[in-house]
Amino acid sequence: MAIELASARYRYAGSASAALGPIDLRVEEGRVVGVAGANESGKSTLCLVAAGLAPGVIGGKRDGSVRIDGADAAALKPHELAQRCGILFQHAATQLSHSTATVFEEVAFGPCNLGLRIPEVVERVWAALRAAGVEALAARDPGRLSGGQAQLVALASVLAMRPKYLILDEPTSELDPAGTTLVADALTRVAAETGAGILLIEHKTDVLARIADEVIVLERGAVALSGPAAAVLADPRLSDLGVEPPAAVRLERAVRAAAIEWSAALAEAVR
């Protein structure tokens, strides 16, 4: 089972040119597929298309196919999509409902709308808050959180839905290094324990190096590089595509550029 894009192409309503595609992509259960690329290369559009929100909710025109567990994403109703794909938007403010008094209620909002029994909602909310490391914020007003806290609460609200696929648009952009590590570990755990498939947009290639199985790099809406994470992240074309290579790769390049041998000891030291 998987999210599968085949020759998918998308243009926004009112736009003359395609923002995305043609693109082929497969996100299998239990796998983490990383997406990198320069700003405005189509990463966020890919999220909307893979989640079935474009064109299903926001309009526009799609060609090619987008299938979620074999079903055409365009044919799925919003509540069916919501139970299959959880999407975390780039900005937490877009995500939060602005209709709840506490973080706990905010995270409970989705599961309640699934019609789950209260004990299960409560169990899911605490598990999600724990996974995102924000249990301590449960009683806080969601409208009065820092950027990093809001991002973690938004992530918890997606995790509480326990979707089969998670589509995450820069989930660590506002986070400090500890928060970034926490999210990376949480996603690895979610993929391993629940078998969720994860599509992860991320500028921080060190995060992708750590948790992604595969990585694709977008350029002007199309796939410029794809393959196993380690190979793509060490590709010499990465910088030209507007993506900063992981720290270990940059260090290796600097050493080689100085005509110093890249020894096994050096390679071991940057692992």
The residues of the shown chain that bind other proteins, judged by CB under 8 A, are: 37-40, 90-91, 146-149, 170, 173-181, 203, 206, 239, 242-244, 247-248, 250-251, 254-255, 257-258, 260, 265-266, 268-270
Under a CB-based contact definition with an 8 Å cutoff, are residues 202 and 46 in contact? no
In angstroms, rounded to a whole number, what is the distance separating the alpha carbons of residues 184 and 62?
Answer: 32
Q: How far is the CB of 124 from other proteins (least distance, A)?
A: 25
Q: How far is the CB of 234 from other proteins (least distance, A)?
A: 14
Measured from the CB of residue 42, what is the shortest distance to other proteins in angstroms?
Answer: 11
Q: What stretches of 12-136 show up as alpha helix (H) in DSSP?
A: 43-50, 78-84, 92-95, 103-113, 118-131
Please give the order of strands across the beta sheet that includes 85-88: 85-88, 165-169, 197-201, 32-37, 214-219, 222-228
Give the residue carrying structure tokens 């309640």.
Answer: 112
Radius of gyration (C-alpha) of the chain in whole angstroms: 19
Element (H, E) at 31: none
For the chain, the residue count is 271
What single DSSP character describes residue 152? H
Which lies closer to other proteins via its Cβ, residue 177 or residue 227?
177
Shortest distance in whole angstroms from residue 72 CB to other proteins: 30
Closest approach of Cβ 15 to other proteins, in Å? 12
Nearer CB in complex with other proteins: 16/258: 258
Q: Which is nearer to other proteins, 95 or 161 (CB)?
A: 95
CB of 1 to other proteins, least distance (A): 33
Tell me the closest approach of the beta carbon of residue 217 to other proteins, in angstroms: 11
Taking 3-state DSSP, the helix, strand and coil percentages for the chain, each rounded to the nearest 5, stand at 45, 25, 35
Residue 192 or 267 with smaller CB distance to other proteins? 267
**Residue whose CB is less far from other proteins, 41 or 165:** 41
**Cβ closest to other proteins, residue 97 vs residue 239:** 239
What's the CA angle centered on 66, arms 43 and 68, to 5 degrees?
105
Classify each residue of 81-93 as buried b or exposed e, where b means 16 or more C-beta atoms within 10 Å of its C-beta. Answer: bbebbbbbbbbbe
Nearer to other proteins, 6 or 136 (CB): 136
